[in-house]
Amino acid sequence: MMYSLNTEDATQLQNYMQKAVERSKYFLGYPIATDFDYSELFPLLDLPLNNVGDPMVESTYDLNSRSLEKEVLQFFADLFNAPKDNWWGYVTNGGSEGNLYGLYVARELYPNGIVYYSESTHYSVQKNIQLLNLRSIVIRTQENGEIDYDDLKQMVQMHRDQPVIMLANIGTTMTEAKDDLSKIQQILRGLAIKSHYIHCDAALAGTYSALLELKPGFDFSYGADSIAISGHKFIGSPIPCGLVLVKKNYKERIGRSIPYIGTVDTTITGSRNGHSPIFLWYAIKKIGKNGLKQRALESSAMANYTIEQMRAMGVKAWRNPDALTVVFPQPSNALRQKWQIATENGQSHIICMPGVQKDRIDAFLADLKAEVNAFKVSEEILETV
């Protein structure tokens, strides 16, 4: 039997679609790549693909994309220098789920551990800590958004009899600051902390930082026990997705066999979207490692251009080393709404993600310049009164 929308609903849908396309032209404040094309995969949208349970274990639910998911996981395991034959992971619904999984594994290892995370950490972490009923301590941040290592050392020293669960930011939400694992490790060694677990929230910066081998390093060879990234951010996807990797010997402490699905459930959600792993696989195969590196370099160059143009008009713009995020004093509410710009504590940012072309940046800069000039005129008028 064929179904169709009535005239009113069809009109509502058409209006929404037109609005969504229009608003996509004014999208600068959030870390989402927009240069993807998955039209070749559209026939798969007719299939209920579900990667339920462990991606490494087959299931009686055979309508899945596990074979492609495992290739995606292998790509990132190699990229993040995961220990050979001692890693495991899965494609998640996004970075927040990856953070939840990393903290979940840490809690199973150290039930009496304390989570240390900076005040610039993504909002999902505090929620995840509450869900897992973990003890935690918030650490101050430096001006650029990086964790304050002196404060961290002092807090850990005060609770040195408790295991340390460290949540390291590899690109904070507002300023894309990166916590330095080597400095964190140095603190733990100096205080003789034997029981510790380090999870890296590398949602945005993780993929391109590893591709370009940027410093400071953060992967498994630098001491990470688990790493979470977002797939829809740097790579790009029409559906939010991510990926988490963890040392396999840690993961094996959790999970149980589920006869109903004929596999082991070692994930957070159980049923998992089977389409996202295909998007990631397709992008990795189509663009290639060198192509992904080039996208990162082009985005970094665009961030440089944006800062130069802002400073030329008198705006105090800045970015952390190699970041794609450009930070500047908050503009008017009208400008923030038009360009969908995130703002916190008087600072705004735009993020030069893959897909952000020069013409879009120039259009934003023109709006900003008009606002700056209007402000200067207002100040001159006030000075003459």
What are 55-78's pLDDT values in tens digits? 998 888 899 999 999 999 999 999
Residues 171 and 232 in one domain: yes
Residues 187 and 322 in one domain: no
Q: Tokens for 385, please give them.
A: 């009164």
Residues 31 and 62 in one domain: no
Residue 16 lies in a domain: yes
Residues 310 and 237 in one domain: no
Residue 294 lies in a domain: yes
pLDDT number for residue 366 = 97
Number of domains in the chain: 2
Please say which residue of 265, 284, 303 terminates a domain.
284
287-322 per-position pLDDT tens digit:
999 999 999 999 999 999 999 999 999 999 999 999
Q: Are strands 256-258 and 114-118 parallel, antiparallel or unpaired?
A: unpaired
Residues 57 and 28 in one domain: no
Residues 58 and 112 in one domain: yes
Residues 104 and 242 in one domain: yes
What is the DSSP secondary structure assignment for residue 232, as one 8-state letter?
A: I
Distances from the Cα of 323 to the Cαs of 71, 175, 302, in angstroms?
28, 8, 11
Lowest mean pLDDT among 199-203, 261-265, 270-274: 261-265
Answer whether residue 146 shows pLDDT above 60.
Answer: yes
What is the DSSP secondary structure assignment for residue 30, as one 8-state letter?
A: S
Residue 178: give its domain's CATH number: 3.40.640.10
Q: How many CB atoms lie within 10 A of CB 380?
A: 9
Distances from the Cα of 235 to the Cαs of 57, 207, 262, 314, in angstroms?
26, 8, 32, 33
Residue 82 lies in a domain: yes
| Identity of the amino acid at 316 | K
Residue 209 lies in a domain: yes
Residue 378 lies in a domain: no
pLDDT number for residue 263 = 55
- Paired strand residues for 343: 348
**Mean pLDDT, residues 238-259:** 81
Answer whether residue 189 shows pLDDT above 80.
Answer: yes
Residues 229 and 338 in one domain: no
pLDDT number for residue 2 = 82
Answer whether residue 381 shows pLDDT above 80.
Answer: no
Helix (H) / strand (E) containing 227:
strand 226-230
pLDDT, averaged across the chain = 93
Cβ neighbors of 132 (< 8 A, separation 6 or more) are 100, 103, 104, 107
pLDDT number for residue 257 = 44
Residues 278 and 306 in one domain: no
Residue 162 lies in a domain: yes
- The boundaries of the domain holding residue 225 are 40-284
Residue 376 lies in a domain: no
Distances from the Cα of 42 to the Cαs of 11, 38, 47, in angstroms?
24, 7, 10
Q: Tokens for 160, please give them.
A: 């040195």
Q: Tokens for 168, please give them.
A: 């390291």
Please say which residue of 284, 311, 326 terminates a domain.
284
Please say which residue of 242, 262, 284 terminates a domain.
284
pLDDT number for residue 53 = 87
pLDDT number for residue 265 = 73
Cβ neighbors of 298 (< 8 A, separation 6 or more) are 354
157-179 per-position pLDDT tens digit:
999 999 999 999 999 999 999 99
